[in-house]
Structure 1
Amino acid sequence: MLTENLKSAYDNFYTNTDTAWRMLGAKYKAQNIVEVCKSITPRTVLEVGAGDGSILHYLDEWDFAPELHAVEIAQSGVDLILNRKLQHLKTAQIFDGYVLPFEDNSFELIVLAHVLEHVEHERILLRELKRVAKYVVIEVPKDYRFGIDNRMKHFLDYGHINMYTPTSLKFLLKSEGFEIITDKVSMTTPEVNFFNEFINKKVVKSLSKQLKINAEYLIKKTLGNLLGIKKREQFANAYTVLTKKSDHDIKIF
Structure 2
Amino acid sequence: MANADSIIAIYDDYYAGDKVHAKREIASVQSVDHVKEFVQGEIFDTILDIGGGEGAVLDKLNKRGFGKTLAAVEISSSGIEAINSRKIPNLESVLHFDGYHIPHPDKSFDLGLAIHVVEHVEHERMFLREAARVCKKLYIEVPLEHTRDLSKAIRMSGPYGHINFYTTQTFENLLKTSGLKVERLKAFGQSLPYEQYLAGRSKGWLKYQIRTGLLKVAPKTAMRSMAYMAGALCSTS
Query: What CA distance in whole angstroms lies between the structure 2 residues aligned with 1:36 and 1:236?
Result: 21
Query: What CA distance in whole angstroms lies between the structure 2 residues aligned with 1:213 and 1:6?
Result: 30
- 1:7 is aligned to 8
CA shift digits 1:11-55 (9 cap, x unpaired): 222112131111011111111112111252110000110000011
Partner SS for 1:63 = coil
Q: How far 1:214 moved relative to its partner?
A: 2.2
Task: Select which of 207, 221, 245 maps to 2:236.
Answer: 245
| Long gaps (5+) in structure 1 | 199-209, 247-253
Matched, 1:45 2:47: yes
Q: For residues 24 and 230 of structure 1, do their structure 2 counterparts lie closer, same or farther at Cα, with a shift above 3 Å needed?
A: same
Equivalences for 1:182-193 in 2 at 5 Å? 182-193=184-195
**C-alpha contact (below 8 Å) 1:186/1:236 kept by paired residues:** no
The higher radius of gyration belongs to: 1
Q: For residues 4 and 239 of structure 1, do their structure 2 counterparts lie closer, same or farther at Cα, with a shift above 3 Å needed?
A: closer
Q: For residues 181 and 191 of structure 1, do their structure 2 counterparts lie closer, same or farther at Cα, with a shift above 3 Å needed?
A: same
Equivalences for 1:162-173 in 2 at 5 Å? 162-173=164-175
Q: How far 1:8 moved relative to its partner?
A: 4.0
TM-score normalised over the length of structure 2 = 0.90
Equivalences for 1:134-173 in 2 at 5 Å? 134-173=136-175
CA shift digits 1:139-197 (9 cap, x unpaired): 00111112122342212111100011111111111112211111222112332222223
CA shift digits 1:185-222 (9 cap, x unpaired): 21123322222234xxxxxxxxxxx4444234224433
Query: What CA distance in whole angstroms lies between the structure 2 residues aligned with 1:88 and 1:49?
Result: 18
What number of residue pairs does the alignment pair up? 233
- 1:16 is aligned to 17
Q: For residues 232 and 149 of structure 1, do their structure 2 counterparts lie closer, same or farther at Cα, with a shift above 3 Å needed?
A: closer
Task: Select which of 180, 191, 213 maps to 1:222.
Answer: 213
Query: What CA distance in whole angstroms lies between the structure 2 residues aligned with 1:242 and 1:3?
Result: 26
- 1:121 is aligned to 123
Q: For residues 6 and 181 of structure 1, do their structure 2 counterparts lie closer, same or farther at Cα, with a shift above 3 Å needed?
A: closer
The amino acid that maps onto 1:172 is L
Query: What CA distance in whole angstroms lies between the structure 1 residues aligned with 2:8 and 2:202?
Result: 42
The amino acid that maps onto 1:15 is A
- 2:72 is aligned to 70
The amino acid that maps onto 1:90 is E
Partner SS for 1:97 = coil
Query: Which 10-residue stretch deviates more, 38-47 or 145-154?
Result: 145-154
Query: What CA distance in whole angstroms lies between the structure 1 residues aligned with 2:117 and 2:227?
Result: 18
Q: For residues 139 and 30 of structure 1, do their structure 2 counterparts lie closer, same or farther at Cα, with a shift above 3 Å needed?
A: same
Query: What CA distance in whole angstroms lies between the structure 2 residues aligned with 1:38 and 1:236?
Result: 26
**C-alpha contact (below 8 Å) 1:185/1:236 kept by paired residues:** no
Runs (4 or more) in structure 1 with deviation over 4 Å come to 2-6, 231-236
Query: What CA distance in whole angstroms lies between the structure 2 residues aligned with 1:4 and 1:146?
Result: 30
Query: What CA distance in whole angstroms lies between the structure 2 residues aligned with 1:135 and 1:11?
Result: 28
| Long gaps (5+) in structure 2 | none
**C-alpha contact (below 8 Å) 2:73/2:94 kept by paired residues:** yes
Query: What CA distance in whole angstroms lies between the structure 2 residues aligned with 1:231 and 1:5?
Result: 35
TM-score normalised over the length of structure 1 = 0.85
**C-alpha contact (below 8 Å) 2:4/2:121 kept by paired residues:** no
Q: For residues 95 and 214 of structure 1, do their structure 2 counterparts lie closer, same or farther at Cα, with a shift above 3 Å needed?
A: same
Partner SS for 1:111 = strand
The amino acid that maps onto 2:160 is Y
